[in-house]
Amino acid sequence: MLASGAHTSFTYYKTSLMIADYDIGLAVPGEAAAIARLSRDIVEYGMTWGWTPRRVLARHFDRSTNVVVARSSGIVIGFALMEYSDDYAHLLLLGVAPNCQRRGIASALLAWLEATLRVAGIVRILAEVRETNEGARAFYQSRGFEEYALTPGYYQKIENAVHLSKVLNVGGASFGQGNAQ
């Protein structure tokens, strides 16, 4: 399980962006709808909306999950949901608003989550991505994930899933990639 203090140990830290500042930190319940809408539009396109506001909200109150956002001027521009178990963490959702992509925001979200994993002593992250999502696959590979399996029809029998795994370097050399400072 996630160490009990990990939900509050990493509140916010400033991250600089070329054109604007953004913060990364735990989401508040009032941001569940914004996260859900982004998920619907950029992750779940073409499928039945699964990550509804209610489902995202439930994760806010689930002690085994961290809901993390990137905010600019109070607006949610990126999000990540990670579920923790004893031996690994599962990255359930990750997304960045289209007009904010390729600025290191997803990398910073991932680095924030990896910091919580270090506290909890968890070194393995699992994730899935739609097979046709070449951009996300490139992102994960750039962040040290390896593709290890494919499940046909995993996404509502519409699309295959590529399964990915990353083992954190507990020595720190490969930890905290991206723009987080």
Ligand X SMILES: CC(C)(COP(=O)(O)OP(=O)(O)OC[C@H]1O[C@@H](n2cnc3c(N)ncnc32)[C@H](O)[C@@H]1OP(=O)(O)O)[C@@H](O)C(=O)NCCC(=O)NCCS
* Whole-angstrom Cα Rg for the chain: 15
Structural contact between residues 37 and 56, judged by C-beta atoms closer than 8 angstroms: no
Question: From the CB of residue 71, how many other CB atoms can be counted at a distance below 10 Å?
Answer: 19
**Which residues make up the interface to ligand X (CB under 6 A)?**
42-43, 93-96, 101-107, 129, 133, 135-136, 138-139, 142, 178
Q: Are strands 159-167 and 124-130 parallel, antiparallel or unpaired?
A: antiparallel
Closest alpha carbon to 146 in 126, 132, 131: 126
The contacts of residue 59 (CB under 8 Å, 6+ apart) are: 65, 67, 81, 92
Q: CA–CA separation, 63 vs 7, rounded Å?
A: 8
β-pair type (22-26, 65-72): antiparallel
Cβ contact 161:131 at 8 Å: yes
